[in-house]
Amino acid sequence: MELTLRDEHVLSAIALKGDSSIEEVSRAISLPAHLIRNSIERLRRKSLVVPRLHLDLYRLGLTEFSIYFSLSGDSALRTSALDYLFSRPEISWAVEILGEFQYACSGYFSSINEFHSFIQHVHDRYPGVIKSGPIMTTLSLIDYGFAGGSKKSSRSFRYGFSGNSTVKLDELDHRIIRALSDDPCQRLSVIARSLHMPLSTLTHRVQRLRDYGVIQGTQLLFNSPASKFGSYRVLVSCPGVTTNERARVEELCMKHPLIYFLVEVAGEWNFEVGVFAKSAWDVNKITEQICDIFRGHTAKTRVLADARLVKLNPFPLNPPSH
């Protein structure tokens, strides 16, 4: 389905601020409120946007780890291994991809040793089925939402190893965040009834979680499969990246209308760049621009295409047990 120019303009304004009021968006982009409301309703009705809660799980003492992998062996065993891996509460995101690897997934762990133990457990349970590719630790994420040719904004909402003090959540906090994660656009009065608590208690708790920086707002994720855009990932590796080169990568990503996120990672790769594009040619041009930044170095890139979102759970944790 095609986006209209108005859709792209509105989506660019609200993608990173899904909980903004219509009046705030109207003032920001100088469009009448009724046109903005109609566009947002159309985007949601056509499933072109999906609301997702912004969470900074680093404030809970957790770090995001990602792994790319392929499968081998008997079909039934491969299916069983995937079902088990993606059903684990530690895994928050998983996608089927096209390219060098078949799948990618990420989860939050308190240490790299805990992550390695988790992966080893899966390997031991299904020996020889999961062929691991690169493993990466997320250092920072800059989210650009959706630009669509409009002026871009950015939000750096998750940084690892920042040294900030961690926040301890109790069982009620867990229940509240999970309910908000299920439907970030739901009214608090409805959530309060579902959790059997006074609205005043819920409002106070949500505001406290926002003040702590655990809840950072609501994002409207662009659903590229419902449009004519494709979603791609460009993995970039270059030994000895300088501060100047890192800044130039950020500058390119901020300016380019098709780039919607930049992740700096530790591991086999240095960066992961997310691209919305209508053709592989557009992605190749972006890859060339990235490589030009590292001219004189031996830069390595991999281009992967998202085929199907398998799992998206922004709060991959269980409430603490007593």
> Model confidence over 199-225: pLDDT tens digits?
999 999 999 999 988 998 888 888 776
Distances from the Cα of 233 to the Cα of 13, 159, 194, 266, 306, angstroms? 23, 20, 38, 16, 8
Query: Which is it for the CA torsion 182, 184, 190, 194, positive or negative?
Result: positive
Phi, psi of 113 (to 5 degrees): -65, -40
pLDDT tens per residue, range 99-153: 889 999 999 888 889 999 999 999 999 999 999 888 898 888 888 887 665 667 7
- Strands 300-312 and 271-277, by their bridges, are unpaired
| pLDDT score recorded for residue 204 | 96
Q: What is the dihedral of CA 40, 15, 254, 148, to 10 degrees?
A: -20
Question: Residues 11-28: what's their mean pLDDT?
Answer: 84
Could you identify the residue written with the tokens 């219509």?
A: 22
| pLDDT score recorded for residue 185 | 83
For residue 246, what pLDDT band results from cuts at 50, 70 and 90? very high
Share of the chain above pLDDT 90, in %: 44
The Cβ-side half-sphere exposure at 278, using a 13 Å CA radius, reads: 7
- For the ranges 13-17, 180-184, 247-251, 314-318, the lowest mean pLDDT is seen at 314-318
Alpha-carbon 150 to chain mean position: 21
| pLDDT score recorded for residue 225 | 66
Residue 219 CA to residue 57 CA, distance in Å, equals 16
Distances from the Cα of 107 to the Cα of 120, 233, 277, 297, angstroms? 15, 18, 27, 32
| pLDDT score recorded for residue 60 | 86
| pLDDT score recorded for residue 68 | 93
Residue 258 CA to residue 282 CA, distance in Å, equals 9
Across 72-86, 213-227, 298-312, which has the greatest mean pLDDT?
A: 72-86
What does the DSSP 8-state code read for residue 279? Answer: S
Answer yes or no: is pLDDT of 297 > 80: no
Question: Residues 48-75: what's their mean pLDDT?
Answer: 88
Residue 279 CA to residue 285 CA, distance in Å, equals 10
The Cβ-side half-sphere exposure at 186, using a 13 Å CA radius, reads: 18
| pLDDT score recorded for residue 164 | 62
Q: Are 136 and 272 in contact (CB under 8 A)?
A: yes
Mean pLDDT of the chain: 87
